A and B are shown apart, each in its own frame.
Chain A
Amino acid sequence: GENVEQHPSTLSVQEGDSAVIKCTYSDSASNYFPWYKQELGKRPQLIIDIRSNVGEKKDQRIAVTLNKTAKHFSLHITETQPEDSAVYFCAASENSGYALNFGKGTSLLVTP
């Protein structure tokens, strides 16, 4: 089955700096790679996703890159703000509509 590795497990940055979270996956059949932000006790919220036919996607301060050959994808948050502090999960699946395999999560802390 799919195995998703996520690094780092914790990340502390100063407000205004950039944050990068990296994930690798094992199953070459995976084609859908979403990123979620989860606040304590809440449901995961989709912040951005990318599909295997695209190498990069950007939405304001958030961007995701995908290297399908290396089975590697990354989340980039620029100009971080304290409200970006949360746990971020990457995930992979064969396609949207399928079950998700999650990474272990990254706890991001943005200090003012």
Chain B
Amino acid sequence: GAVVSQHPSWVICKSGTSVKIECRSLDFQATTMFWYRQFPKQSLMLMATSNEGSKATYEQGVEKDKFLINHASLTLSTLTVTSAHPEDSSFYICSADPENTEAFFGQGTRLTVV
């Protein structure tokens, strides 16, 4: 199957700093990628849809100025958590579907804000 890779797998940052998470499609091009957030023992919640060459579409309640998404190429989408706070600590995971048949997920990024 297709491979989606996220980096880093885990990161610890101080409150008030920014963290960038990368999501790459390794063997296919992705015009659309999805970003989800998963709090401990909870479900995956869609944060935004990342569109190559255009602005991301954010879900209701997700602050676009806090969670900056850039989809600058057909193989890379980045999520930047700005001015991070402890409540932003979560598991962030991206996905893409190269042939509109099955979603492939990155391995996820565990963010801890201290």
Contact = CB atoms under 8 A, between A and B. Distances in A.
B54 interface: no
Interface stretch (B11-19, B43-51, B70-78, B79-87): B43-51
A85 to B, nearest CB: 15
B48 to A, nearest CB: 9
Contact of B100 (A97, A99, A104): A97
Nearest to B35: A99
Q: In the complex, which range does the number of interface residues on chain B fall in? A: 20 to 34
Contact of A100 (B44, B100, B106, B110): B44
B67 interface: no
Nearest to B48: A99
Contacts of B91: 41
Interface stretch (A12-20, A43-51, A54-62, A73-81): A43-51
Given A42-B107, A43-B93, A95-B100, A100 B46 contact: yes
Nearest to B97: A97
A34 B101 CA distance: 11
Contact of B102 (A42, A96, A101, A103): A96
A34 B43 CA distance: 14
B108 A42 contact: yes
A102 interface: yes
Given A41-B91, A43-B108, A100-B44, 14 more contacts: A42-B107, A42-B108, A43-B106, A46-B103, A96-B101, A96-B103, A97-B32, A99-B49, A100-B34, A100-B95, A100-B103, A102-B43, A104-B43, A105-B42
Interface of B: 32, 34, 42-46, 49, 91, 93, 95, 97, 100-103, 105-108, 110
Interface of A: 34, 41-44, 46, 49, 89, 95-97, 99-105
